[in-house]
Chain A
Amino acid sequence: MLSRRIGKQFCGHFKGSFGRFQSTLVVAEHNNETLTPITQNTITAAKNLGGNISVLVAGTKCGPAAEALSKTDGITKVLVAESDIFKGLTVENLTALIVATQNKNKYTHILAGASTLGKTVIPRVAAKLDVSPISDVIGIKSTDTFIRSIYAGNAIQTIQANDPIKILSIRGTSFEPATLGSGSATIEKVPVEGCDTQLSEFVSQELSKSDRPELTSAKVVVSGGRGMKSSDNFKILFDLADKLNAAVGASRAAVDAGYAPSHFLVGQTGSIIAPDLYIAVGISGAIQHLAGMKDSKTIVAINKDPEAPIFQVADYGLVEDLFKAVPEMTGKL
């Protein structure tokens, strides 16, 4: 009897710590040409859970993403669902595919990056499986205990999920990207029958073209706020960004005033980023904005108001008129 108890204990311990019986499905994100970087961060989060990792690639053209994933370290299997029904990757069809894959393979965890796509599809999948999902996870303590931020990053919550399947979206900036290159995962086709829900139809997409790095993965970000005064004035930020090979962001005030397009938005309601260097120009530093950038390694604030709250989080603050300081900085770099 004693040995049985010990055996049981050992089993439980084994399962918990080593993830022997864990299996994770990661929903990949790609644009039919290249893999979206947040998928690599999500794979790292999956590795923290232990166990086997399979990655699901859905789209009209999955070849390039599947190829890259098959070489990613730590992945066992790449599941490919290539079909015209995934044009524009509508949430209803993608959900049907993930649920069918889950019902067949019985994963313990389903993960996606907390991008627009992941934030949209993860909760719908969770509802279909009657599971309470966990959004925007910033830390993994064990296979059922996760850390996330609430109240615009002003409190950190640790929660234990009771549901048998854990369904999570992962904040990309909280996990290092998994390296692509040396792995050798098998590529397997998955059936797509029954996944065409015809509930919605993709009409069109318009992505802004830019030679600058993408906001959420850029090492350096230069952001403008209300102090920029006009959209034309953003040119001085673009010039500085070009010198630093930086992406350009904006505060809510700048977006609402029409100075910057909405996809520039950094904050609780926009992108949450953590670059090596964040330069806030003419941004006061409202809590909603800080929620999107306060995990940046180094924060620089340029603002003529010495009382601006942004200076409380800035590593280096420069109290000066931005229209003088920014061009000067660009000239001297």
Chain B
Amino acid sequence: MARVLVGVKRVIDYAVKIRVKPDKTGVVTDGVKHSMNPFDEIAVEEAVRLKEKKLASEIIAITCGPAQSQEALRTALAMGVDKGIHVEVSGPEYETLQPIHVSKILAKIAQNEKIDLIILGKQAIDDDSNQTAQMTSGFLDWSLATFASKIEKGEKDVTVTRDIDGGHEVVTLKLPAIVSADLRLNEPRYATLPNIMKAKKKPIQKLSPKDLGVDTTPRIKIISVEDPPTRQAGQIVPDVDTLIAKLKEKGHC
């Protein structure tokens, strides 16, 4: 049976309309609703399903971030994860924390915990990087499948259906392996109240990047964060004829 690691990130809730800070250094995060990155919920759900099918022995969830990041871990524990690891990174160090740093942390944890399968969300909806699974696979030299819509675990391998441009493809990965979850992989469960209560008793181990020997020196300098250009307000047309006339005027048809 496999030992599974899932990564979770606390991000601004997907339904929140974000605001750029007036000084252009980033977006406003204080007092804004946060929740677990939606793709990570899918990763957690898949891991829990593997355990329910007796294909996984233990599931560990890891998060990197400030103290509040533990909320994401508690949610994962309430969904059925066995234990949490919180790698605390805060302040300016967190602001320039990139997938390269997180991947190195994940790679270290995977080795320390003798993990067989890592499942991560395909991207975080804040930085939209879509890098961490790929980079972790590079650091560990493990097999990789991104954008998974189906995962079938075998004895020594895992077969993954991936969403690709224009269709889908199937690959078989040698274990240990890393898979990133796409939205279609599953429908994450809601944590029930009894499980939320139980999750409070589950262990969370606290570490720092230093404990793991990972250097978090910034690799990038954020020069500015600005609002995207706004579109000119359009017009409501009364009927199909006017619409077609307007489109013809613009040379679209």
Contacts and interface: CB of A to CB of B under 8 A. Distances in A.
A216 B165 contact: yes
Interface residues of B, number: 80
Contact of B18 (A151, A203, A298): A151
Contacts of B18: 151, 154-155
A161 B220 contact: yes
A123 B138 contact: yes
B103 A127 contact: yes
Contacts, number: 248
Contact of A287 (B17, B134, B149): B17
Contacts of B174: 198-200
A304 to B, nearest CB: 13
Given A133-B131, A135-B128, A153 B159 contact: no
A199 B157 CA distance: 10
Contacts of A311: 234, 236
B247 A316 contact: yes
B115 interface: no
A133 to B, nearest CB: 6
A171 to B, nearest CB: 11
A299 B234 CA distance: 9
Contacts of B134: 91, 119-124, 127
Contacts of A91: 134, 137, 144, 146
Given A160-B221, A205-B167, A332 B244 contact: yes
Nearest to A302: B243
A92 B143 contact: yes
A161 B221 CA distance: 7
A125 to B, nearest CB: 7
Nearest to B244: A332
Contacts of A119: 130, 134, 146
B100 A127 contact: yes
A190 interface: no
B143 A132 contact: no
A123 B99 contact: yes
Contact of B128 (A149, A159, A271, A287): A149
Contact of A154 (B163, B228, B237): B228
Interface stretch (A2-10, A69-77, A206-214, A223-231): A206-214
Contacts of A257: none
What's the dominant secondary structure at chain B's contact region?
A: mixed
B227 interface: yes
Contacts of B146: 91, 116, 119-120
Contact of A158 (B27, B172, B183, B224): B224
A332 B245 CA distance: 11
Interface of A, secondary structure class, is: mixed
B137 A329 contact: no
Given A132-B98, A329-B243, A156 B227 contact: yes
B121 to A, nearest CB: 10
Nearest to A114: B130
Nearest to B39: A269
B17 A162 contact: no
Given A123-B134, A127-B134, A135-B131, A155 B226 contact: yes
A99 to B, nearest CB: 9
B131 A317 contact: no
B165 A263 contact: yes
Contacts of A122: 134
A95 B143 CA distance: 11
B250 interface: yes
A88 B240 contact: no
Counting chain A CB atoms within 10 Å of each CB, the highest count among B182, B231, B239, B240 belongs to B240
Contacts of B201: none
Contacts of A202: 169-171
A90 interface: yes
Given A119-B130, A135-B131, A150-B128, A206 B168 contact: yes
Contacts of A319: 236
The 3 closest A-B pairs by CB, nearest first: A127-B138, A123-B134, A132-B219
Given A88-B169, A155-B20, A277-B253, 13 more contacts: A88-B171, A116-B146, A126-B100, A133-B100, A133-B135, A155-B18, A203-B159, A220-B252, A277-B252, A311-B234, A313-B231, A315-B234, A328-B240
24 contacts: A91-B144, A120-B144, A131-B219, A135-B129, A136-B128, A149-B128, A151-B126, A155-B18, A199-B174, A200-B145, A201-B171, A204-B169, A205-B169, A205-B170, A206-B167, A207-B166, A262-B184, A263-B167, A276-B252, A294-B228, A300-B243, A313-B231, A318-B240, A329-B244
Interface of B: 12, 14, 17-18, 20, 27, 98-100, 103, 122-123, 125-132, 134-139, 141-147, 149, 159, 162-174, 177, 182-184, 218-228, 231-237, 239-241, 243-244, 246-247, 250, 252-253
Interface of A: 88, 90-92, 95, 115-117, 119-128, 130-136, 145, 148-163, 198-208, 214, 216, 220, 243-244, 252, 255-256, 262-263, 268-269, 271, 276-277, 287-288, 294, 298-300, 306, 311-320, 325, 328-329, 332-333
